[in-house]
Structure 1
Amino acid sequence: MKVKESLGALSDRRFAWYFTARTVSTAGSVMVPVALAFAVLHIDQSAGALAQVLGVRTLTMVVFLLVGGVVADRFSRIVVLQVSHVLTCLTQASAALLIIGGHATLTQLTVLEGVNGAVSAFTMPAMMGIVPLVVDRGRLQQANALLSFSRSGLAVVGPAVAGLLVVGVGPGWALAVDALTYAVAIVCLARVGLQRRTSEANAPRHSMVRELREGWGEFTRREWLWVVVLAFGLTNAIHSGVIGVLGPLVATSSPSIGEAGWGVVLSAEAVGTVLMTLLMLRLRLRHPLRAGMLAICVLAVPMVLLGAAPALVPVAVAFFLAGAAVEVFGVGWSTALHEHVPVTVLSRVSSYDALGSFVAIPIGTFVYGWLATVADTETLMLVSAAVYVVISLSALLSRSVRDLRRSSDERETSGRATGGARVIPVAVEADEAARS
Structure 2
Amino acid sequence: MPAPASAPAPAPPSPHPLRTRPFRLLFAGRTLSLLGDAAIPAALALAVQEATGSTAALALVLACSMVPKLLLLPLGGVMGDRFDARTIALAMDLVRCVTQLVVGVQLLGGTPSLAVIASVEVIGGAAGAFATPTAAPLVRGTVPEAGLQRANAAMAVAHSASRVGGPALAGALIFTVGPGWAFVLDAASFAVSAALLCAVRIARVERPAPGARPSVLTDLREGWREVRTRDWYWSSLIGHSAWNGAAAVLMTLGPGIAVHRLGGGAAWVALLQTGAIGLLLGSLVADRVSPRRPVLTANIGLATYALPLLLLAAGAPAVVVIGAYGLAQAGLGFLTPVWETAVQRAVPEHALARVTSYDWLLSFAAMPLGYALAPLAASTWGPGVPLTVAALVVAACCLGSALLPGVRRFTGGPDPVAPAGAEAVSLPGTR
The DSSP-based 3-state class of the residue aligned with 1:345 is helix
RMSD: 2.2
After superposition, the Cα gap between the structure-2 partners of 1:103 and 1:199, relative to the gap in structure 1 and judged at 3 Å, is same
Q: Distance in 2 between matches of 1:198 and 1:397?
A: 37
Which residue pairs with 2:41 in the alignment? 33
Q: Counterparts in 2 of 1:397-416, with a 5 A limit?
A: 397-407=403-413
CA distance in 2, matches of 1:67, 1:181: 26
Instruction: After superposition, give the CA deviation of every residue in 1:56-101 in whole Å (9 maximum; x if it has no partner).
Output: 1000100110110111111110000000000000000011001110
Q: Equivalent of 1:42, from 47, 50, 61?
A: 50
| Aligned CA distance change for structure 1 residues 155 and 42 (closer, same or farther; 3 Å) | same
Using structure 2 for the length normalisation, give the TM-score: 0.92
Tell me which of 135, 154, 158 is aligned to 1:146: 154
Partner in structure 2 of residue 291 of structure 1 = 297
The one of 231, 235, 239 aligned to 2:243: 235
CA contact (8 A) 2:308 2:321 kept: yes
User: 1:382 and 2:388 equivalent?
Assistant: yes
Q: d(CA) in 1 for partners of 2:148 and 2:296?
A: 18
* Equivalent in the alignment of 2:375: 369
* C-alpha contact 1:24 1:185 (8 A) present in aligned 2: yes
Cα deviations by residue, 1:206-252 (Å, 9 ceiling, x for unpaired): 221111111111111111111111233233223311x1111112112
Percent identity over paired residues: 32
Q: Which amino acid aligns with 2:406?
A: S
- Return the offset for 1:394: 1.1
| 252, 257, 263: which one aligns with 1:250 | 257
Tell me by how many angstroms 1:6 deviates.
9.2
Residue matched to 2:331: 325
Name the CA shift for 1:21/1:398 in 2 (closer, same or farther; >3 Å). Answer: same
Aligned-partner residue type, residue 79 of structure 2: V
State whether residues 89 and 178 of structure 1, in contact with CA within 8 Å, keep that contact through their aligned partners in structure 2.
yes
- For the 8 Å contact 1:53–1:110, the answer to whether it is kept is yes
Return closer, same or farther for 1:377/1:346 CA change in 2, 3 Å cut-off.
Answer: same
Counterpart pick for 1:64 among 61, 72, 78: 72
Gap runs ≥5 in structure 1: 411-423
Given residue 253 of structure 1, which amino acid in structure 2 is its aligned partner?
A: H
* Rounded Cα–Cα distance in structure 2 between residues aligned with 1:5 and 1:278: 19
Structure 2: state its 5+ residue gaps: 1-11
Residues 7 and 281, structure 1, Cα contact 8 Å, conserved in 2:
no
Out of 19, 26, 30, which is 1:18 matched to? 26
Partners of 2:205 and 2:350 within 8 A in 1: no
Q: 1:131 aligns with which of 136, 139, 148?
A: 139
Paired residues of 1:291 and 1:328 also in contact (CA < 8 A):
no
Instruction: Name the SS of the counterpart of 2:349 in structure 1.
Output: coil
Q: Are the structure 2 counterparts of residues 252 and 435 from structure 1 closer, same or farther at C-alpha, using a change threshold of 3 Å?
A: farther
Indicate yes or no: 2:80 matched with 1:80: no
Q: What is aligned with 2:424?
A: 430
| 8 Å contact from structure 1 (residues 95, 175) kept in 2 | yes
Judged with a 3 Å threshold, the aligned counterparts in structure 2 of structure 1 residues 217 and 191 are, in CA distance, closer, same or farther, namely same
Deviations 1:108-160 (A, max 9, x none): 11110111001000011011221111101111111110000011011101111
| 1:315 to partner: Cα distance | 1.8
Asked if 2 retains the 8 angstrom alpha-carbon contact of 1:257 and 1:310, the reply is no
Question: SS of the residue aligned with 1:15?
Answer: helix
Q: Which amino acid aligns with 1:247?
A: G
Which letter does structure 1 place at the counterpart of 2:263? I
Q: Which moved more, 1:379-388 or 1:95-104?
A: 379-388
Of 89-98 and 244-253, deviating more is: 244-253
**Could you tell me how far apart the structure 2 residues matched to 1:168 and 1:5 are?**
48
Q: Is the 8 A contact 1:57 1:116 kept in 2?
A: yes
1:344, distance to aligned residue in structure 2 (A): 0.4
Q: 2:219 maps to which residue?
A: 211
Structure 2 Cα separation of the partners of residues 196 and 337 of structure 1: 19
Q: CA deviation at 1:32?
A: 0.8
Equivalent residue letter for 1:269: G
**1-side partners of 2:423 and 2:212: how far apart?**
21
Q: Partner letter of residue 26 of structure 1? A: L
- Point out 4+ residue stretches in structure 1 off by more than 6 angstroms: 4-7
CA distance change for structure 1 residues 52 and 434 in 2, over 3 Å: closer, same or farther? Answer: farther
* Equivalent in the alignment of 1:225: 233
